[in-house]
A and B are shown apart, each in its own frame.
Chain A
Amino acid sequence: MRFVKEILEPFRKAVETYGERNAFYIDSIYYTYQQFAERVSAIRGVIRAAEKSEQIWGLALHDDLNTYASIFALWMEAKAYVPLHLSWPEERIASIKEQVGCSNVLDDCDAPFTEMDLDNWVEASENDLAYILFTSGSTGVPKGVQLTRRNITAFMDSFWKTGIDITPNDRCMQVFDLTFDVSVQSYLVALTRGACVYTVPYGQVKYLYAASLIQEQHITFCAMAPSMLTYLRPYFDEFDASSMKACILTAEACPVDLMEAWYNCAKNTEIYDFYGPTEATIYCTYYKLTRGGENLSLNGIISIGKPLANVQAIIIREDGSLVEGQEKGELCVAGNQVTPGYWKNDEKNASSFFIRNEVRYYHTGDLCYWHESGNIMYSGRIDQQAKIQGFRVELGEIEHHARTFYKNERRVTAIAFQNAQNLTEIALFVEAQQEDSKELIEYLRSKMPHYMIPTRILFEPIFPLNKSEKVDRNALKTKLQ
C-alpha cells in the first residue's frame, strides 16, 4: 500500500475518466473534476515557486474550491498542510504557526491556470507528513497530531474493507471543518471514486444546511455527528432522507434511540457507528447497525464495534495488564493508522504511547470493555475530555485560560453536561460571589475557538470538596440540573 496508489492515482484517474462530471457542489455552485484539476495544477505552480521550500504549509480555510485544491497540490508536491481556521483567535493561529515553523500559507490561492499538471509527483516517503491537526491541549497550548502518508493510506485501505462502496454516481456530503479529521474521509472517499462532494459553507447553521442538502440534493452518503441528528429529531416525521444509502455517525457517542428514530427517515440507509481518535487517523473501530434488529448498546450508547482492518486493539488495566472477560479498562490501539506522535512534544508522546510486545500502542483515554461478541463497548472517558459537536475539548484548557484571567487567584472548574435535548454543553464554575461574567467570556473568546466557550458560567462562593479534599465535580454538576 502506498499513498500514491491509494490517493493520488485514483484521484488522477477520476479526473481522466470523469472530467466533465461534478467533483464539488459548494455554496450552490457545481465544479467539475476538470475545473478542480485545473485549480490543483495552478496551485502546484505556486508551491514550487515559493521562496522558502518548507515541508509544512499553513492552509487558511475557506469553503471554496481553492482550499480543497490546495490539499491535493501540496500532496503532489510532497508537502503537508496544517489547517488554520479563520474564525479562531489570532493568538491561536499564531501559536500553531510558530510551533510548526511554517511561514508559507495558502489562502484562497487564485493563481491563474496555465496547463494541466497532475503528473510528475514529487517523490515522498510514506513516513512524510500529510497533515497536522491541532487539538485542544490541557496546558492551554494546542497540540499537533502528525499524520503521515502511511497513516492515510492505511486508513483508506481500512475504510474500503468495511464494505462501504462509493461510486461515481454518489453524492457525498462533507459537513466537517477541515480542522477536524472526519473531513478528510468525507472528501477523500468521494474524490478517489469520481463522486461529488457537497459541502456545508462556513457561517451556516450546519444541521439546517446539511438537512437541506440531504433533502434537496438527494445526498447518498455522509458522515455526521449524532448531535446534528439530535437537532433535527423534532422534525424527523417531516424529513425525507430516503436517497441516502449509507450514513456514518461519528465523533460523539451514538444514542441507540436516536438511531432507531433516524431509521424511519433514512428508509434505505445502512447506518454505521464509527469511532476513533485523531491519533489513529479518523476512525479505528466501527459497528454496523441492524435495521429493526438488536443493536449492541451500553447505557443507551451503541457499541463502537470491532477494529478496522489496519488497527489492533487491546483493553488494559491501570498497571498495563490486559483485562479479562468483560472487565473495563482503557482502550489502546496500534497499527499503521497510529500517528508517529505529537508535534515536538516529547513529554506528551512519552505519556500517550507505549510499547507492548514490540508493538507501539496509543492510549485513547476511553474506558471500554469487550462484549462476548468481540465488539467493544464504550463506557466513557478516563480523563477530563469532552466532545462538543464532535470537537475534542480538554476541559483543562478552558480551566487554564479562566484561571489566567483571574490571575490564578480563584479556583475554576469546567464541567461537561448533557442538556435537556441530550446535547453536550460546557459549564464553568468560578469560586466567587456572583458577578458579571462578560469580561471573562470575552477573554475566553480571545483564546479559544467558539465551540470551547462555556455556555454557562456559574459562581459558587465556596466549592464543595470530596473525601480526597479535591473539588467535588459531581456535587457541582448537580447544580446544573
Chain B
Amino acid sequence: MNREQLVEEIQVITQEVFAKPELVITDAMNAADVDTWTSLSFMQFLTAIEDKYGFKFKMMELLQLRNMGAVIDATLKHIA
C-alpha cells in the first residue's frame, strides 16, 4: 500500500472515531485543529488503526505522534 492509499483509509477511520464525517485530514493536523481529538478519542483512533492493520505501536513511536502526518508515517512503516 502506498502513502496515498493509506491516507484515504486513515481518513475514514478519523472521520468515524472523531465523529467528523466530513473531516479532510492533513499531515499537519493535530489536537488543536479538531475539537473532538481528545486523549480518549486519540487512544481509540490508535487502537482502530492497530486493529485494522494488525500491529501495535511501540512506546517510543507513540511519543512522536504529535500530528496526523506522524501517525500515517508510523503506520506506513509497520505495514510496508
Contact = CB atoms under 8 A, between A and B. Distances in A.
Determine if chain A interacts with chain B. Answer: yes
Interface of A: 87, 202-209, 211-212, 215-216, 227-228, 231, 235, 238-239, 389, 421, 423, 425, 441, 445, 450-451, 455
A453 to B, nearest CB: 8
Interface string B40-80: 10110000000000000011101111100000000000000
Contacts of A231: 39, 43
B39 A202 contact: no
B63 A215 contact: yes
B35 A205 contact: no
B60 A238 contact: yes
Nearest to B33: A203
A238 B40 contact: no
Contacts of B43: 231, 421
A203 B30 contact: yes
B31 interface: yes
Contacts of B31: 203-205
A171 B6 CA distance: 40
12 contacts: A87-B35, A204-B30, A204-B66, A205-B37, A205-B38, A205-B39, A208-B65, A208-B66, A211-B59, A212-B64, A239-B59, A421-B43
Ranked nearest first, the 7 interchain pairs of A and B with the lowest CB-CB distance are A203-B32, A238-B59, A235-B59, A212-B63, A205-B42, A207-B39, A203-B31
Q: Interface of chain B, helix or strand or loop or mixed? A: loop
**Max chain A CB contacts within 10 Å: which of B30, B37, B38?**
B38
A202 B32 contact: yes
A450 B63 contact: no
Contacts of B37: 205
A204 B38 CA distance: 9
A207 B60 CA distance: 13
B45 to A, nearest CB: 10
Given A216-B63, A235-B59, A425-B40, 7 more contacts: A204-B31, A208-B42, A209-B66, A231-B43, A239-B59, A421-B43, A455-B40
Interface residues of B, number: 20
B39 A235 contact: no
Given A231-B39, A450-B38, A451-B38, A208 B30 contact: no
Nearest to B41: A455
A282 B46 CA distance: 33
A207 B64 CA distance: 12
Contacts of B58: 235, 238
B58 to A, nearest CB: 6
A389 to B, nearest CB: 7
A32 B66 CA distance: 26
A354 to B, nearest CB: 37
A177 B48 CA distance: 28
B40 A211 contact: no
Interface in B3-45: 19, 30-32, 35-40, 42-43
A231 B40 CA distance: 8
A205 to B, nearest CB: 5
Nearest to A388: B40
Nearest to B56: A234
A156 B33 CA distance: 37
